[in-house]
Structure 1
Amino acid sequence: MLNTSKEMETNNVKAFGAENRDASLKQMKIQRREPSANDIEIDILYCGVCHSDLHTVRNDWGGSIYPAVPGHEIVGRITKIGNSVSKFKVGDLAAVGCMVDSCGQCSSCTQDLEQYCVPGFTGTYNGKDRHLGGQTFGGYSEKVVVDERFVLRVPENLDPAAAAPLLCAGITTWSPLRHWKVKKGDKVAVVGLGGLGHMAIKLAKALGAHVTLFSRSPEKEKDAKALGADAIVISTDKQQMSSVNAAFDLIIDTVPYVHDVNEYIPALNINGTIVLVGYLGPLEPMLNTVPMILGRKSVAGSVIGGIAETQEMLDFCGKHNIVSEIELIKMQDINEAYERMLKSDVRYRFVIDMESLKT
């Protein structure tokens, strides 16, 4: 174990990031702190590629800080631990998701809902680094140092590369499934078959739900059923949409761009909820409240999950051998991957083999 030093020591490590919103990602050096008493250092083996990475690099949401080093779907091996760390040991397969810190004291944090930290959680990248100052840097790098409270254990039976997207795509869809208490026999629908949608199907099916995919593309039926979907409804076909009126207890909407949510609300059963997990921004057209009021139906939002819930998800995936469908890429191919991601040219998630950065 490591001794705590009053003076924060740092190391330079290789990373890939962007200098500004118009720049391609390239190799650079960033600083990581030496682990203090409660810290864990992880040698990063794999890092998933999320749409949030691209949005941050290109400042699509505003507020990006440069240089920007993305990556919040991190899986690796623990190489160092602080002398107060008790839950992990060197050599463990570990993970880091979208958060590396929170206030720990607000009404959300005390309920294990760090993702809703009232002052705001510290993002794995583009967040305020409470240790070194400046911003946090993500998993497109050789290693990461994180407080033990925000480190997760990865079941050893899972493919570590394919497990990486569980840290965002997995927990983003698991959290609403758990919050709305999906159980065996429930009727769940998923809107959109991408990185989030394919995980929603796998997880809902493993929970025992009857799962339907809403899609605009009939050619996705084969893939959807291979992932575990029981049925597919083509959302542009009025007859098919009418056939599922009042059919679903929960609809998870994973579409990442503005779209008409109103067309899915009639498909909810009484007390049903449609949960938006893929799109950030104003809805167009506006919601029509009539079917909501007449059926006590809800439109809700959800974002990732707390640390305890994320560990629960990883353990569940270990038990049921659930991982993401991935395409493994080299770090040097990230700019091409971003362009392909914009065209939805990936089934269903890119994951970076970080060994390529170390050579």
Structure 2
Amino acid sequence: MTTVSAYAAPAAKAPLERTTIERREVGEFDVLIDIKYAGICHSDIHQAREGWGEAIFPMVPGHEIAGIVAEVGSGVTKFTVGDRVGVGCMVDSCRECDNCKAGLEQYCTQGAVMTYNGVGKDGEPTYGGYSQKIVVDENYVVGIPEGIGLDEAAPLLCAGVTTYSPLKHWNAGPGKKVAVVGMGGLGHMAVKIAHALGAEVTVLSQSLRKKDDGLKLGADHYYATSDPKTFEELAGTFDLIVSTVSAPLDFGAYLGLLKTDGALVNVGAPEEPISFNLFSVISGRKTLAGSSIGGIRETQEMLDFCAAHGLGAEIELIRADQINEAYERVLASDVRYRFVIDTATI
């Protein structure tokens, strides 16, 4: 075992504090990564505060990890020391179910092993990227291409693939009208990726406060959802709506913005249950769906796509002792658009 410094939540809703954790020794197929940067995802806050249910403490959050390979096991073939690599939301899965075999490890029927707030196959809790090092099986590590800074790449490991996956699955591209609900950590990447895919992109945000940013990042149109006229003007407009917000929506109103056979896909997960009238989907043969991150193969595809199109996250780099302040600022929508921890400060 190797002792490394980390930031952890000792209990639900408690401030994160500096501590140490143990990382396993490098096994035959393991990769030891010196973590350079770790993004702060809204998911980290939900879990550290038990918004999504009972959690495991102490908790070291962080599933947007970018770093450098420091050591590899004797059986590793995909990576060598010095490689630029990333780790996303999961670090293992059963590898045997149909979903795993199809490259959809995020939907493993036995349950994927999450990067943190999970339990590994050794029965030990998993600890995430708010730390100096991590040991991960090579099959759950991806390469970060040259051309993307590691700091701007870190949020792609969750925010990037979480939006790329539904955009690809629902065929966003030329001739398609795509709306992105929310202009935050996930939303700003959805705008960039949808634009790069060739879709006509509209941002639906509570206000016009971030309109200039949205247009700069690739949106063709920008509307305020606080204005009732928005829903009248845009009725029946979109082929696909990707909702990135983690607050309950008026789903009837948003479903009304879809064309026949359109889909409203949720990648943000509110803590509260939602309700809607089924006639909102029956009328127009519409789909209300969800999507969760992406498999390892698709995560690599997303990184390669982003590198080819010069896409990285818009970030604010912070020290580790600013994590608790950053959490409050995320909740206040006071970040443009992703906090990234410089792990050298842990």
> Which residues of 2 match residues 99-110 of structure 1 at below 5 A?
99-110=90-101
DSSP 3-state at the match of 2:38: strand
Q: Find the counterpart in structure 1 of residue 324 from structure 2.
A: 335
Partners of 1:254 and 1:277 within 8 A in 2: yes
Q: Which digits, 9 at most, give the CA deviation of each residue in 1:126-167, with x for residues without a partner? A: 111223x32000011110000000000001110110111001
Q: Structure 2 residue aligned with 1:249, among 221, 239, 256? A: 239
Amino acid corresponding to residue 67 of structure 2 in structure 1: G
Q: Find the counterpart in structure 1 of residue 294 from structure 2.
A: 305
For the residues of structure 2 that align with 1:130 and 1:263, how far apart are their CA atoms? 44
Number of matched pairs = 346
For the residues of structure 1 that align with 2:266 and 2:52, how far apart are their CA atoms? 17
Q: Find the counterpart in structure 2 of residue 162 from structure 1.
A: 152
Q: Structure 2 residue aligned with 1:350, among 314, 336, 339? A: 339
For the residues of structure 2 that align with 1:192 and 1:155, how far apart are their CA atoms? 28
Matched, 1:33 2:24: yes
For the residues of structure 2 that align with 1:19 and 1:283, how far apart are their CA atoms? 28
Q: Structure 1 residue aligned with 2:35, among 44, 51, 58? A: 44
For the residues of structure 2 that align with 1:268 and 1:60, how far apart are their CA atoms? 30
Q: Find the counterpart in structure 2 of residue 97 from structure 1.
A: 88
Where structure 1 has 5 or more consecutive residues not aligned to the other structure, the ranges are 1-9
DSSP 3-state at the match of 1:108: helix
Q: Structure 1 residue aligned with 2:108, among 117, 130, 134? A: 117
Partners of 1:46 and 1:351 within 8 A in 2: yes
For the residues of structure 1 that align with 2:225 and 2:20, how far apart are their CA atoms? 47
For the residues of structure 1 that align with 2:114 and 2:269, how far apart are their CA atoms? 19
Where structure 2 has 5 or more consecutive residues not aligned to the other structure, the ranges are none
Q: Structure 2 residue aligned with 1:293, among 282, 285, 289? A: 282
For the residues of structure 1 that align with 2:270 and 2:300, how far apart are their CA atoms? 25
Amino acid corresponding to residue 209 of structure 1 in structure 2: A
Q: Find the counterpart in structure 2 of residue 205 from structure 1.
A: 195
| Offset, 1:224 | 0.9
Q: Which digits, 9 at most, give the CA deviation of each residue in 1:221-272, with x for residues without a partner? A: 1111011100012223233322222111100011111121111111111110
| Offset, 1:184 | 1.5
| Offset, 1:68 | 0.6
For the residues of structure 1 that align with 2:234 and 2:48, how far apart are their CA atoms? 40
Q: 1:295 to 1:22 in 2, by over 3 A?
A: closer
Q: Find the counterpart in structure 2 of residue 145 from structure 1.
A: 135
DSSP 3-state at the match of 1:250: strand
For the residues of structure 2 that align with 1:260 and 1:291, how far apart are their CA atoms? 11
DSSP 3-state at the match of 2:195: helix
Partners of 1:259 and 1:283 within 8 A in 2: no
For the residues of structure 2 that align with 1:15 and 1:89, how far apart are their CA atoms? 25
| Offset, 1:19 | 1.3
Partners of 2:178 and 2:194 within 8 A in 1: yes
Partners of 1:234 and 1:241 within 8 A in 2: no
Q: Which digits, 9 at most, give the CA deviation of each residue in 1:278-337, with x for residues without a partner? A: 1245554x2222242221111001110000010000000010010111100001111111
Q: Structure 1 residue aligned with 2:216, among 203, 223, 226? A: 226
Q: Find the counterpart in structure 2 of residue 191 from structure 1.
A: 181
Matched, 1:62 2:57: no
Q: Find the counterpart in structure 2 of residue 7 from structure 1.
A: none
Partners of 2:237 and 2:259 within 8 A in 1: yes
Q: Which digits, 9 at most, give the CA deviation of each residue in 1:57-114, with x for residues without a partner? A: 2222222111111110000000000111111111000000000000001121111100
Q: Find the counterpart in structure 2 of residue 321 from structure 1.
A: 310
For the residues of structure 2 that align with 1:333 and 1:266, how far apart are their CA atoms? 41
Q: Find the counterpart in structure 2 of residue 130 from structure 1.
A: 121
Matched, 1:20 2:11: yes
Q: Which digits, 9 at most, give the CA deviation of each residue in 1:36-73, with x for residues without a partner? A: 11000000000000111112222222221111111100
DSSP 3-state at the match of 1:263: helix
DSSP 3-state at the match of 2:94: coil
For the residues of structure 2 that align with 1:265 and 1:347, how far apart are their CA atoms? 28
| Offset, 1:219 | 2.3
Deviates more, 1:41-50 or 1:230-239: 230-239
Amino acid corresponding to residue 255 of structure 2 in structure 1: I
